[in-house]
């Protein structure tokens, strides 16, 4: 038992600080990806509702692709493909140059694409659940388009979309662990390093799983709060 505590302690003998560093990187990856995925997902939902045929078709293909291909494979394609693409662009301008796509950036792009594909479906059904009469009523009261969006439509979309987005956020949080494959020093990767040095896989992987569960717990509490805030205008019996 004492041995275990020492393994998890902070400082030179323990791996506590390394794990904490990994946890922070996991959080950073998650916090950077989330807003990008949300905005992209919203835009793609708008594209799906567009009257331009090619635009809605493109948006639907995007969703089908990123919901059908494993996250791990998407990650590899973005990482290696992005690298080759950047290299190609760079060599076009400068001879003998070597550029690298960071694992962090590849993770943000890949996970952002996957998240946005799922999120666009959530936003789409939320948009469809707001009746046309709402915007018509707002317009007839003399509200501008922007004001209508801001005060009438958007709050309702958010309310309908929140439960779905909360689920997707929890999935995104778990998917950040995949970026450990690209040797990004996030929580799972740091855990692997600790296991390699101590030969204590059960202890360290249990701790890592526990930390992910804790993150999921905290995130779900956060979303419950946001949901009750968003629903504050709803009548309750």
With CB under 8 A as the contact rule, the residue among 69, 149, 152, 158 that binds other proteins is 69
Number of residues that bind other proteins (CB under 8 A): 39
Q: Quick one: which of 5, 24, 39, 65 contacts other proteins (CB under 8 A)?
A: 65
CB 71 within 8 A of CB 107: no
To other proteins, the closest distance from the beta carbon of 154 in angstroms equals 28
Decide: is 195 part of the binding site for other proteins (CB under 8 A).
Answer: yes
| Site string (1-20) toward other proteins, x via CB under 8 A | --------------------
Distance CA(139)–CA(152), nearest Å, equals: 10
Closer residue to other proteins (CB): 217 or 229: 217
By CB under 8 A, is residue 58 in contact with other proteins? no
Q: Is 77 in the site for other proteins (CB under 8 A)?
A: yes
Task: Please say which residue, 76 or 104, places its beta carbon nearer to other proteins.
Answer: 76
Ranges within 168-187 binding other proteins (CB under 8 A) = 170, 174-175, 177-178, 180-181
Burial class (CB within 10 angstroms; exposed 0-12, middle 13-18, buried 19+) of 142: exposed
Does position 213 interact with other proteins (CB under 8 A)? The reply is yes
Binding region for other proteins (CB under 8 A): 64-65, 67-74, 76-77, 80-81, 84, 170, 174-175, 177-178, 180-181, 188, 191-192, 195, 199-202, 205-206, 208-210, 212-213, 216-217
């Amino acid at each position: 038992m004492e041995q275990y505590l020492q393994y998890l302690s902070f400082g030179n003998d323990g791996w506590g600080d390394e794990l904490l560093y990994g946890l922070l990187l996991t959080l950073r990856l998650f916090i950077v990806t989330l807003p990008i995925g949300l905005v992209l997902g919203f835009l793609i939902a708008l594209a799906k509702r567009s009257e331009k045929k090619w635009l809605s078709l493109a948006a639907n293909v995007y969703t089908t692709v990123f919901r059908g291909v494993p996250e791990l494979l998407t990650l590899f394609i973005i990482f290696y493909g992005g690298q080759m693409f950047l290299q190609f662009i760079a060599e076009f301008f400068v001879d003998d140059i070597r550029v690298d796509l960071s694992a962090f950036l590849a993770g943000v792009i890949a996970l952002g694409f996957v998240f946005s594909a799922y999120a666009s479906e959530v936003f789409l059904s939320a948009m469809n659940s707001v009746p046309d009469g709402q915007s018509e009523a707002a317009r007839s009261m003399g509200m501008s388009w922007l004001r209508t969006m801001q005060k009438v439509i958007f709050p309702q979309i958010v309310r309908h979309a929140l439960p779905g987005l909360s689920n997707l956020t929890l999935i995104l949080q778990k998917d950040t662990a995949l970026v450990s494959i690209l040797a990004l020093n996030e929580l799972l990767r740091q855990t692997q390093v600790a296991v390699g040095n101590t030969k204590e896989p059960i202890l360290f992987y249990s701790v890592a799983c526990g930390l992910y569960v804790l993150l999921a717990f905290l995130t779900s509490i956060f979303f419950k709060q946001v949901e009750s805030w968003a629903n504050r205008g709803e009548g309750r019996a």
